[in-house]
Chains A and B, each alone.
Chain A
Amino acid sequence: MVKWTDFECATIQDIFSKIDYDVVGPAALSRCLIVYPWTQRYFGGFGNLYKAAAITSNPKVAAHGKVVIAGLEKAVKNMDDIKTTYKDLSVLHSEKLQVDPDNFNLLADCLTVVVAGQMGAAFTPEGHAAFQKFLAVVVASLRKQYN
């Protein structure tokens, strides 16, 4: 059972209320595909991913970025039991998508960079720590059904 302090709860709700999902989702996914190009292995059907500019303007990447952040919102809305909330998503990533779970951390790092860029100094060290803990719980929950 993950224990969240009031500060952590409030911070996560606050961050997600402030960020523009339509910008952050696509930006985080495209940054991941650019900074960690081996992650492109999961997106063979997305067309042109050859250059950074192609990735950033790729409509399939943008659409999928929105899908990913919508998935994250489920965790934001169910912080008291992210593990159960993500059970089916974990099975999906393990059995159907067959994503190496170490990649979850790469996307999480890119999301942090994008959120930091959006929020600027408002992304304080303490807020950053809460966000990091949230992402760690999300990643652990996504890993849970792998075997």
Chain B
Amino acid sequence: MSLSAKDKKTVKTFWAKISSNGETIGADALSRMLVVYPQTKTYFSHWKDLSPGSAPVKKHGATVMAGVADAVAKIDDLTSGLLSLSELHAFTLRVDPSNFKILSHSILVVLAIMFPTDFTPEVHVAMDKFLAAVARALSEKYR
């Protein structure tokens, strides 16, 4: 399920359209994830406020989407491009990799809400593949 040239082009084109909304997308995706999949809250016990749109959620949503933007730029070699992020997730954060899928799905739902005409089935499959590839790269250093 590796990214074809067509997938990469679709992702880059779509990303160019939506990247200015990165912070909003990230905030909404993270907010949703915490509400829809409450088990994910276990990673954020150090935050005072986990409610949708709260300050720590917004800030972290922006951080996450900046990482996704970085991944788009490094789409031709995600494994080496995301090496330090993988080390962070593996050794420091120790996020169970099953959660990457959950956050990816949450991002896709937000994209469907915010860009209903642009988020066609073709764009959906390319983005789903891309986020899965990002998740694989992030899992690289786990064991």
Contact = CB atoms under 8 A, between A and B. Distances in A.
Interface of A: 30-31, 34-35, 52, 55-56, 109, 112-114, 116-121, 123, 125-126, 128-129, 132
B68 interface: no
A132 B116 CA distance: 20
Question: Which 4 pairs, one residue from A and one from B, show the smallest C-beta to C-beta distance?
Answer: A117-B112, A125-B35, A34-B121, A117-B116
A56 B122 CA distance: 11
A92 B19 CA distance: 45
A125 B31 contact: yes
Interface in B77-125: 105, 108-110, 112-113, 116, 119-122, 124-125
A125 B52 contact: yes
Interface residues of B, number: 21
A122 to B, nearest CB: 9
A55 B120 CA distance: 13
Contacts of B7: none
B73 interface: no
Contacts of B128: 35
B25 to A, nearest CB: 13
Contacts of B32: 125, 128
Given A121-B113, A123-B113, A35 B35 contact: no
A84 to B, nearest CB: 26
Interface residue SS majority, chain A:
helix
Interface in B1-40: 28, 31-32, 35-37
Contacts of A112: 105, 109
Contacts of A113: 108-109, 112, 119, 124
B56 to A, nearest CB: 16
A116 B122 contact: no
Most buried by A among B110, B119, B125: B125
A43 B66 CA distance: 40
Contacts of A119: 113
B52 A30 contact: no
